[in-house]
Structure 1
Amino acid sequence: MPGVTKEQIAKAKEWDLLSYLQTYEPHELKRCGPHEYCTRTHDSLKISHGKWCWNSRGIGGRTALDYLIKVRGMDFVGAVEALCGYRAPPPQEQPKPKPPKPFQLPEASRFPSVMLSYLQGRGIHPELLQACMQAGTLYESRKYQNCVFVGRDPTGRARFACLRGTRDNFRIDAEGSDKRYNFSLLAADPECSRLAVAESPIDALSLASLVKLSGGEWRDSHYLSLGGTAPRAMIQFLHDHPHVTQVSLCLDNDKAGIMGMERLENAIQDNPELSQRVKLIYRNPPPAEHGKDYNEFLCAHTKAVREQRQREPAR
């Protein structure tokens, strides 16, 4: 064949695609299974057991020569020369990153009965659910009937939403959510000095429900969900509520929660403004004998109260 010899062609065909990419384009490789790779440019192009297949185009092969011709669009001579070291293949065109989608709340259901039944089944007090619905921080989505927990900034603008399944363990943040403004339950007094911090919205509501069930006034404190254990939502809340001087860290009683509480405490102490203002920081995980988080603690508490009432003689 003009331009290349039989020996060069034979040498080029010795290259399998995985070896070629590992040698010349390691940045293109991405592991997607125990024995499978894909490329960063084409995530539907899978490489496994000596073969490759570009699933979205329905083409494949064994060798790097096939890849350079079928995927990279090189002619046969150019591909052989590239694999024999005589000519570098043209650079891959990097896909342009997709712009982030704007934040948008899911459409609400007109009748949130599924959400209310689910959260009351988790022990959340009805008074708290009504308070959140009136504040516009909780509703049921029309599609799939998920719980939607909304986070708002100090102006009242919705900036965050997380969806929680009512029939399974589905949970996800709405696209475009700003996690600095997570779900919160505010005290009656805007100048309240106390804040309780939990990992999830349901745990934050469980904390307030426990106060309510014990005869206390749940509106005497702010409650904040972090959406995990990262400190950014807490730091933002403290900046937005300058009267808070006491923080109770009520994360899960497990390794991640304990490490998270240490991280949160350090985040306050490392902030010059907050370390001067926040004088009391309590680590207050739920009792280990009643589960790892505050919703499990609440459910155990309500079950114990119910069983106690059943044992009491009728009057």
Structure 2
Amino acid sequence: MPWVTEEQIARAKQVDLLDYLLANEPHNLKKTGHEYRLRDHDSLTVSNGKWHWHSRGFGGTTALNYLVKVRGMEFTEAVQLLAYDASTGPPPSIPSSTAKPPPPKKAKPFVLPAKSINNDRAIAYLLSRGIDRDILKRCVEAGTLYEGRKHHNCVFVGQKDKNGKARFACVRGITSGFRQDIKGSDKRFGFLLPACAPPGEIVMVAEAPIDTLSMATLQKRKDAGWEGRHYLSLGGVSPLALLQFLQQHPQVNHIVLGLDNDKAGLEAIEKIKAAVYEDEMLRDRTLCITVSPPPVGKDYNDTLLASIREQKEQEQRRRPNRAALFI
């Protein structure tokens, strides 16, 4: 559990939700009249410095409220994220209730973090999380995983656009629970481990890249045709990455949703299913959606680590008692 100071909490409480969304989730916003709505939570509106989730009957005034109540983040993690975003000073607030919302800010350019001279620390950390070495090697060779130079974080790079440019990346600390999308990231281009063998008709979906790689590792351990599946990270619970992926992969006909076993993950399942079935570009597609939450723990990395522990315990039980050899 990350630790935060009173000063960080005070800074985090100053961050307005619309400012946060414009900077971090611009493609999840749509303007409707005098207010904004979220694409993945259509009944959540933002207007005049306040937000309200009408279908759930609650709201708030800050980005901190939103991250905790809607996205299901731990309070300290949300404070840490927002205090970092607010390090240059408090953002401007929404004008008074009689004024119109400000025009969207000019998006900051997306720039990947500088690379370390090697990936040793990041790879060692991910191996300790149970991720298969060959899968990590594939990601490194594809340029979708590397170690950041400044903090030696794991940097997960999302899919490229039609011009061959990366549009999304997120970082994961190797010595703490720190995680964050790189500023200017486009949620539509989530982290992907693509199928490298036919048929490529199934996409397995998780929230975070580590859970995505854990799903792939578990499939490989089962030897269940794992290379013929895609593994996609949503970067949270927004359906944007999945919708974009499906539009670009017409052969996919089966979606396996492996979101976290927490309030945010469980509540997002129906929203994601609705977003897929109601998308105009996908309405003529025959798509099967299977809900497959992690069978053990909060997420699929918990499940993977539990599977590894169980295998080791079984091997220990099968191993003959060496002391008996000397009797």
Closer/same/farther in 2, CA of residues 168 and 280 from structure 1, 3 Å limit: same
Closer/same/farther in 2, CA of residues 189 and 175 from structure 1, 3 Å limit: same
Indicate whether 1:213 and 2:221 are aligned.
yes
Indicate whether 1:115 and 2:122 are aligned.
yes
Alignment of 1:44-83 (within 5 A): none
2:73 equivalent in structure 1: none
1:272 CA displacement: 3.8
Where structure 1 has 5 or more consecutive residues not aligned to the other structure, the ranges are: 1-26, 34-41, 46-93
- Aligned CA RMSD, in angstroms, stands at 2.9
1:95 CA displacement: 10
1:110 CA displacement: 1.7
Closer/same/farther in 2, CA of residues 188 and 44 from structure 1, 3 Å limit: closer
1:276 CA displacement: 2.7
- Equivalent residue pairs, number: 232
Closer/same/farther in 2, CA of residues 112 and 275 from structure 1, 3 Å limit: same
Closer/same/farther in 2, CA of residues 43 and 232 from structure 1, 3 Å limit: closer
Give the partner amino acid of 2:190: N
Give me the whole-angstrom Cα distance separating, in 2, the residues matched to 1:227 and 1:126: 22
Alignment of 1:19-34 (within 5 A): none
Q: 2:211 aligns with which of 182, 203, 211?
A: 203
1:119 CA displacement: 0.4
1:28 CA displacement: 9.7
Aligned 8 A contact 2:147 2:154 in 1: yes
Q: 2:316 aligns with which of 307, 310, 313?
A: 310
1:311 CA displacement: 1.9
Give the partner amino acid of 1:297: T
TM-score by length of 1: 0.67
Closer/same/farther in 2, CA of residues 105 and 281 from structure 1, 3 Å limit: same
SS for the counterpart of 1:195 is strand
Q: 2:301 aligns with which of 270, 295, 301?
A: 295
1:226 CA displacement: 0.3
- Give CA-to-partner distance per residue, 1:80-128, whole Å, 9 cap, x none: xxxxxxxxxxxxxx99986432111111112211101110111100011
Q: 1:264 aligns with which of 260, 266, 272?
A: 272
Give the partner amino acid of 2:307: H
Q: 1:227 aligns with which of 225, 229, 235?
A: 235
Closer/same/farther in 2, CA of residues 192 and 97 from structure 1, 3 Å limit: closer
Aligned 8 A contact 2:198 2:228 in 1: no
Aligned 8 A contact 1:247 1:278 in 2: no
1:262 CA displacement: 1.0
Identical amino acids, percent of aligned pairs: 45
Closer/same/farther in 2, CA of residues 31 and 222 from structure 1, 3 Å limit: closer
Aligned 8 A contact 1:244 1:278 in 2: no
Where structure 2 has 5 or more consecutive residues not aligned to the other structure, the ranges are: 1-47, 51-60, 65-88, 93-100, 323-327
- Taking CA–CA contacts closer than 8 Å with sequence separation of 6 or more, which of the two structures ends up with the larger relative contact order? 2
1:101 equivalent in structure 2: 108
Give me the whole-angstrom Cα distance separating, in 2, the residues matched to 1:272 and 1:95: 30
- Give CA-to-partner distance per residue, 1:131-156, whole Å, 9 cap, x none: 10111100000111000000122544
TM-score by length of 2: 0.65
1:241 equivalent in structure 2: 249
Alignment of 1:122-137 (within 5 A): 122-137=129-144
Give me the whole-angstrom Cα distance separating, in 2, the residues matched to 1:31 and 1:106: 28
- Give CA-to-partner distance per residue, 1:23-73, whole Å, 9 cap, x none: xxxx8998899xxxxxxxx9599xxxxxxxxxxxxxxxxxxxxxxxxxxxx
Give the partner amino acid of 1:310: Q
Greater displacement, 97-106 / 107-116: 97-106
Give me the whole-angstrom Cα distance separating, in 2, the residues matched to 1:95 and 1:232: 25
Runs of 4+ in 1 over 6 A off after TM superposition: 27-33, 94-98
Give me the whole-angstrom Cα distance separating, in 2, the residues matched to 1:159 and 1:190: 27
SS for the counterpart of 2:284 is helix
Give me the whole-angstrom Cα distance separating, in 2, the residues matched to 1:301 and 1:95: 51
Indicate whether 1:182 and 2:190 are aligned.
yes
1:164 equivalent in structure 2: 172
Give me the whole-angstrom Cα distance separating, in 2, the residues matched to 1:200 and 1:268: 20
SS for the counterpart of 2:171 is strand
Larger Rg: 1
Closer/same/farther in 2, CA of residues 106 and 32 from structure 1, 3 Å limit: closer
- Give CA-to-partner distance per residue, 1:212-257, whole Å, 9 cap, x none: 1122232110010001111011000001111111111111122221
